[in-house]
Amino acid sequence: MSEVLVVGSLAYDSVKTPSGKAERSLGGSANYFSVSSSLFSKVRVVGVVGSDYSDADREILKTRGVDLDGMQVVNGKTFHWEGTYEHNLNEAVTLKTELNVFADFNPELPAKYKDTRFVFLANIDPVLQLKVLSQIQKPLFVGMDSMNFWIDSKQADLIEVMKKVDIVFVNEGEAKMLTQVDNAIVAIKKVAELGPEYVVVKRGEYGSTVYSKTHGFFQCPALPVEKVVDPTGAGDSFAGGFFGYLASLRPSGQEHKPTWTELKQATLAGTVMSSQTIQDFSLKALAKVDKSSYQSLSADLVKMITV
């Protein structure tokens, strides 16, 4: 299979939801993505942590076979985010953001990473996303995520990244904000006009919508979950399952891009992985997903969308 490279935040989160709270638990986009993606493919991580990043947390990634040669360790504290979902499980309220060592993050790829064919640029400064892309030699399939902060503060750089990727992951609010269009369907199409062939719109409990300039729309429901404990990282877990699944279909030497059918299958994989993330704090539930449980959940999801 092909490897997947992810660049993003490696963090500690303090989260409060109606189900309780977790203090300084493992989080960050690259962590969620890596644990999810590693069920399907080999993963390479590019990020930065402080000297307080524990061996136990590093071991969570190692036991999944994640390559940590791109993890920079710097004296200081690891990025810390604090938020609450007390009033709306679909939207976090940020209480505190401490960038710490992440403030000076300068992504430098190890030599062996530069030929990675599946690349995911998680939610970081688009200037850094561009720097990573400049170091990749001949990627086969590139995806990116972003957020309203970058849309508002660095839109020109963000659009420059979008011109260079195959697929963009956003939520409905971000798509509307970026395109200045109120209709979600029109907004999705306009996002695609900015460069990418595909757009994935994450819709939380309502599933996801995938748009292709060539093939149109595909709608995938969410797996029913009776109790959402912590939605943090659901989108990153979705992207991890999505990319990991695609990479698992491409042995080294196969150079054709993923097909529309494969992208729809990858959407199911991402949906399954994100449905598990939200059932506990941090990466606790996600790290328990194995091939057997994935196959069972995947079959359940297929039944839901089969007429």
Higher pLDDT, 141 or 2: 141
**For residues 144 and 129, is the Cβ–Cβ distance under 8 A?**
yes
Each residue's pLDDT tens digit, 5-38: 999 999 999 999 999 999 999 999 999 999 999 9
Averaged pLDDT of the chain? 95
Specify the higher pLDDT residue, 24 or 92: 24
Of the chain, the percentage scoring pLDDT greater than 70 comes to 99
With cut-offs at 50, 70 and 90, classify the pLDDT of residue 304.
very high
Output the pLDDT for position 89. 86
What's the mean pLDDT in 285-293? 97
- pLDDT band at residue 148 using 50, 70 and 90 as cut-offs: confident
Confidence at residue 251, expressed as pLDDT on a 0 to 100 scale: 82
State pLDDT tens for residues 126-144: 999 999 999 999 999 999 9
pLDDT at 253: 67
Q: What is the pLDDT of residue 113?
A: 97
pLDDT tops 80 at residue 254? no
Average pLDDT over residues 267-284: 97
- pLDDT at 88 > cutoff 90: no
